[in-house]
Amino acid sequence: MADEATRAFLAEVRAFTREVVAPAAPGWARGASPDPTLLARAGAIGLTAVEVPPAFGGLGLSFRAKVEACAILAAVDFGLAMALVNTHNVAKRIVLSAPPDLARALLPDLLAGRASACTALTEPGAGSDAAAMQCRAEKTSTGWMLDGEKRWIVNARHARHAIVYAQTGQPGQGAGIAAFLVDLTDPAVTRYPVESVIPQASIGTGGFRLDHCLVPDERLLLPAGTAFKAILEEINGARIYVAAMCCAMVSAGLRIVQAYGGTRRSFGKPLDEHAVWREKPAACATALAAAWALVESAVSAIEAGGDVRHLAAAAKVNAVALAQRELPALMHAMGAEGLREIHPFARHVGAAQLAALTDGSTAMLLDRLGRWDPTPINL
């Protein structure tokens, strides 16, 4: 049961999503840039501060609260949900790993939405295989010199700060990876947008190159030997909220279809009085219930401090497959009406493809799950 602070926060997220995000999302799907004040409005209700402790200016709420906030946003726009949670995650990592003076200097702008942030793991030649990264960090007398390129990074178009993962040891050695807090306004950083046939406006996808970028010692957040483990732990959490976001997109589509079926008439009666038409939303609702249950199991495992590697992977694989399968079917259940811009189907169909590639590809996760036995009882 959520406490009063969580209920109040989620109510504000719903109002923000309904009043601010929903009217703008169709434009973002056409490539329009989000209003520059959007991040500050999100920060004002705590969307970049959910799990940050109150002592540092945050809300001090739970992982579950973050998952639910992401789902509420993603039901309307997946990209913005991803953008905000990435800034939030950097703020949380700064609290955990940065020197207190540095944290207190940087957090006010991040939490208030005056600055955004990103986590830079993916490279042109290294995606799900994080150990293959080529970005280098060499120790100097005054800090660390970083050289390399990061690509397909959420928020990279506009972020002020980035947690950059770089190799300090031999290529291919996970133990050599370290994490550095980089100022992306540094002249040694050259950034660029990443475009695709799926609009990237609200998610802010981009890349940047580091050319002899000097990072002070105090900005080494995770030294070699600890960073790779942190990557894996954080990705497990990300897979869970991405799964919830996929479920939320399907939930939004299902509700629209069910409402439409009660009002649109065909052959003299509403669509939902035709048994053959009801089969599609009924099958979707059944699969959706199972997907939400798997997300709930993963969230509960996180709360209990359990091993969530397989549950997180399974939740994401299942929810992504659900979204990829059901969103087009729901759109077509409405006929040509489903193609109208006032409905989120088209942008959600594209978002499901993005979700399949974030935080570990589906193929990689299936390889792991092939050795998992989820049977809960002694047979």
Q: What does the DSSP assignment read for 225-279?
A: TTHHHHHHHHHHHHHHHHHHHHHHHHHHHHHHHHHHHHH-EETTEEGGGSHHHHH
Q: Are strands 117-120 and 161-167 parallel, antiparallel or unpaired?
A: parallel
Segment 105-112 mean pLDDT: 97
Q: SS3 sequence, 271-304?
A: HHHCHHHHHHHHHHHHHHHHHHHHHHHHHHHHHC
H-run or E-run covering 216: strand 206-216
pLDDT of residue 359: 80
pLDDT of residue 127: 66
Superfamily of domain 228-369: Butyryl-CoA Dehydrogenase, subunit A, domain 3 (1.20.140.10)
Distance CA 127, CA 136 (A): 16
**200 — pLDDT class (breaks 50, 70, 90):** confident
Segment 61-73 mean pLDDT: 98
In 39-188, beta strands by DSSP E: 117-120, 136-139, 143-153, 161-167, 177-183
Report the Cα–Cα distance between both ends of the chain, in Å, rounded: 33
Query: Looking at per-residue confidence, does 322 or 31 come out higher?
Result: 322
Q: What does the DSSP assignment read for 20-32?
A: IIHHHHHHHHTTP
**192 — pLDDT class (breaks 50, 70, 90):** very high
**272 — pLDDT class (breaks 50, 70, 90):** confident
**pLDDT at 32 > cutoff 70:** yes
pLDDT of residue 128: 67
What is this structure's pTM?
0.94
pLDDT in tens, 225-252: 898 888 888 999 999 999 999 999 999 9
In this chain, the answer to whether the domains covering 4-115 and 228-369 adopt an identical fold is: no
**pLDDT at 260 > cutoff 90:** no
pLDDT in tens, 9-31: 999 999 999 999 999 999 999 88
CB 74 within 8 A of CB 245: yes
Tell me the domain boundaries of the chain.
4-115, 118-224, 228-369
pLDDT in tens, 113-144: 999 999 999 999 776 677 778 999 999 998 99
Segment 176-198 mean pLDDT: 94
Distance CA 324, CA 64 (A): 24
Superfamily of domain 4-115: Acyl-CoA dehydrogenase/oxidase, N-terminal domain (1.10.540.10)
Mean pLDDT of the chain: 93
Contacts of 374 (CB under 8 A, 6+ apart): 310, 314
pLDDT of residue 277: 81
**368 — pLDDT class (breaks 50, 70, 90):** confident
* Two tokens, residue 99: 């020197």
Query: Looking at per-residue confidence, does 33 or 359 come out higher?
Result: 33
Contacts of 307 (CB under 8 A, 6+ apart): 301
pLDDT of residue 276: 77
Contacts of 298 (CB under 8 A, 6+ apart): 239, 240, 243, 308, 311, 312, 314, 315
Given 1.10.10.10, 3.40.630.40, 2.40.110.10, 3.20.20.20, which CATH number is that of 118-224? Answer: 2.40.110.10
**pLDDT at 266 > cutoff 90:** no
CB 316 within 8 A of CB 257: no
**pLDDT at 2 > cutoff 70:** no
pLDDT in tens, 309-319: 999 999 999 99
Cβ-count burial 336-346 (b if 16+ within 10 Å, e if not): eebeeeebbbb
H-run or E-run covering 190: strand 189-193
| Alpha-carbon dihedral angle through residues 351, 373, 228, 73, given to the nearest 10 degrees | 30
